Amino acid sequence: MVLSLINRSDGGALAQVQYDNATNMTQQLSALASLIRAGIGDTALAQFEAQWKDDRLVMDKWFGLQVGCSKPDDAADTATALTKHALFNWKNPNRFRATLGAFAGHHAGFHAKDGSGYALLADWLIKLDPLNPQTTARMCSAFQTWRRYDQIRQSLIGTQLDRIANTPNLSRDTAEMITRIRSA
């Protein structure tokens, strides 16, 4: 937290020092998050990937961190770009949740006024449902609080909920979750 505050005044200089001198992954990740937020994390992201590419769980953190630390206007593009990364495997539930779950948790990015965040998540949920209905149903919970938002966002979310619900051969798990969310 302190590093994040210092990051605002020094533009990431201390975060770079911490990243370069980190003796463990936790220190690296903390510094990496600050570097991403400062807009100077590309080199560290590449280094982190090279160092940890063979550790799936650590790479899940790498995927999620990029989405979670992105600027609101960049969140959807960041998530989309990561879904095209060679190490992204949408059939792996952990990688799917790390990337698209982080996107759904990035409130300012996910709830973009144009509804593009809702459409992006719905596209992926529709794709995942035939393969992994349990993860899909669980990820539908990103829409659970839809009635708390303004009328425009409620309408945009409702459109995506209907689109998911009207998907041919939708799994029972996902259909049940969408029905419950819609009726709440």
User: Which pLDDT does position 140 carry in this prediction?
Assistant: 98
Q: Which two tokens stand for residue 78?
A: 């960041």
Classified as helix, coil or strand, 44 is helix
Answer whether 60's CB lies under 8 Å from 29's CB. Answer: no
Say what the pLDDT of residue 139 is.
Answer: 98
The residue with tokens 């936790």 is 26
Q: Give 10-residue mean pLDDT values along the chain (184 residues).
A: 88 95 94 95 97 97 97 97 98 98 97 97 98 98 97 98 98 98 92
Q: Which helix (H) or strand (E) holds 92?
A: none
Cβ-in-10-Å burial (0-12, 13-18, 19+) of 72 comes to middle
Show the tokens assigned to 161. 């909920």
Sorted by where each begins, the domain ranges of the chain are 1-52, 53-183
Q: What is the structure's pLDDT at 4?
A: 86
Residue 1 confidence (pLDDT) = 82
Per-residue burial over 23-50, b if 16 or more Cβ lie within 10 Å, else e, is eeeeebbbbbbbbbbbebbeebeeebee
Bin 89: left if φ > 0, else alpha if -120 < ψ < 50, else beta. beta
Query: How many helices and strands in the chain, by DSSP H and E?
Result: 13, 0
Q: What is the pTM of this model?
A: 0.93
Q: What is the DSSP letter of 21?
A: H
- Helix %, strand %, coil % for the chain, to 5? 75, 0, 25
At residue 102, the pLDDT reads 98
Q: Please tell me the CATH superfamily of domain 53-183, with its number.
A: Peptidase M1, alanyl aminopeptidase, C-terminal domain (1.25.50.10)
Look at residue 26 in the predicted model and tell me its pLDDT: 92
pLDDT at 8: 87
CA dihedral 41, 142, 163, 66 (to 10 degrees): 10
The pLDDT assigned to 2 comes to 87
